[in-house]
Chain A
Amino acid sequence: DSGVTQTPKHLITATGQRVTLRCSPRSGDLSVYWYQQSLDQGLQFLIQYYNGEERAKGNILERFSAQQFPDLHSELNLSSLELGDSALYFCASSYADSITEAFFGQGTRLTVV
């Protein structure tokens, strides 16, 4: 158990819909990272928050947004969903503003039908 909690574990939704994925980092960790993993594109960095503020942005679509709340949990919002958004979405956390000691959650498997 990494200490990072992601909910829900599975999500099935229709195209055009909007969903919210939730992540609770390990106790004491200030950074939260979101990744998308699909079969054809591997693990892709989406966005990082550090202590409530956006710290780094990767290949995140404009239809996607995220935020980190004062209690340090984070949410990833995916809107106008397309079939190609089906993937595993992982959250990772670390204490520092650095990915070098990050711990991953078990992921949310999103299926868009």
Chain B
Amino acid sequence: TQLLEQSPQFLSIQEGENLTVYCNSSSVFSSLQWYRQEPGEGPVLLVTVVTGGEVKKLKRLTFQFGDARKDSSLHITAAQPGDTGLYLCAGAGGGAGKSTFGDGTTLTVKP
């Protein structure tokens, strides 16, 4: 069974601060996705990383895939209240179509 561990589980910060959340596994994934989920809504895909060492930027969000494709990080610069939500990582590679989700990091950005 492929497991993804996300840390921290909860994060509460002030607007303007920077933060990093982590997604770690002992398994190798062919790709890894990051999603953001708001209460009562479905997860929304933010990015997919495929190549070990890959770095992708999406405005103030920077995503990195580990060299060994076992872990990933999401860094947010100058967080805003609109960034509040549950951030989920998901790894693909456990069989056709199967995707393993981490338990998520709940981020609260206070104005």
A residues adjacent to B (C-beta < 8 A): 2, 4, 31, 33, 35, 42-45, 48, 50, 55-56, 58, 90, 92, 97-107, 109
Contacts and interface: CB of A to CB of B under 8 A. Distances in A.
Contacts of B90: 43, 99
Interface in B30-73: 31, 33, 35, 40-45, 48, 50
A99 B33 contact: yes
Contact of B96 (A43, A97, A105): A97
Contacts of B103: 42
Contacts of A103: 45
B97 A105 contact: no
B97 A33 contact: yes
Contacts of B98: 45, 48, 56, 58, 99
A75 B97 CA distance: 18
A90 B97 contact: no
A90 B99 CA distance: 14
Contact of B44 (A42, A44, A104): A104
Q: A-side binding surface: helix, strand, loop or mixed?
A: strand
A40 to B, nearest CB: 10
Contacts of A101: 45, 48
Given A48-B96, A98-B92, A42 B43 contact: no
A100 B48 contact: yes
A42 to B, nearest CB: 4
Given A56-B96, A99-B90, A100-B33, A90 B101 contact: no
B100 interface: yes
Contacts of B33: 99-100, 102
Given A35-B101, A102-B45, A106-B41, 19 more contacts: A33-B99, A42-B103, A42-B104, A43-B101, A45-B100, A48-B98, A55-B97, A56-B97, A56-B98, A58-B98, A90-B43, A99-B33, A99-B97, A100-B48, A102-B33, A104-B42, A104-B43, A106-B42, A107-B40
A56 B95 contact: yes
